[in-house]
Amino acid sequence: MDLNKTGHTVIDMQHMRILDWFEKLESIPAEKRFGPYASAVLEDLQVYIQEHFELEEGVMDECEFPDLDRHRHLHSQLSGQVVSFVDQYHQTGVVDQDQLIKLLRDWLIRHINQEDAKLAEFLEQQIH
Ligand SMILES: [Fe+2]
Ligand SMILES: [Fe+2]
């Protein structure tokens, strides 16, 4: 799976890391899918996504990215969905891995490739 680059080194590194997590989740064998290993990966991912969103919003704030409020809202929707998967695991001991992977693929990867790409365009314009 390919990710577009924003041109911001740290943001791009973190996106690659998020993709690694995604691939890690996808590669969990079926018999371990709902166990503690899956939940550990999920919780790491939740913390990491949160840190990533904070950093990205900080960069956007610093460069006065005009679409920051909307972007922040998209982040909070997405992290809310990941949090609800973690809560679901704590309450039931089960995570719907297929749904989680679908969420990450459809939402997170699309967010990086379409929404974060707007930051890339903006940063590019600032330089020229
Ligand atoms: Fe991002
Ligand atoms: Fe973003």
Report pTM. 0.87
Per-residue pLDDT of 109-120, as tens digits, reads 899 999 999 999
Residue 34 has pLDDT above 70, yes or no: no
- Percent share of the chain, pLDDT over 90: 41
Which ligand has its closest atom nearest to the C-alpha of 4?
A: 1
Q: Alpha carbon of 26 to those of 9, 97, 108: distances in Å? A: 26, 8, 14
Determine the distance separating the centroid of ligand 2 and the alpha carbon of 126, expressed in angstroms. Answer: 19
Residue 77 belongs to a domain: yes
Give the range of the structural domain holding residue 114, as residue numbers without chain letter.
9-127
CB atoms within 10 A of CB 6: 23
Residue 76 belongs to a domain: yes
Output the DSSP codes for 5-30.
--S-HHHHHHHHHHHHHHHHHHTS-G
Report the alpha-carbon distance of residue 22 to residue 1 in Å, rounded.
10
- Tell me the CATH number at 41: 1.20.120.50
For ligand 2, an ion, list residues with CB under 5 A.
56, 116
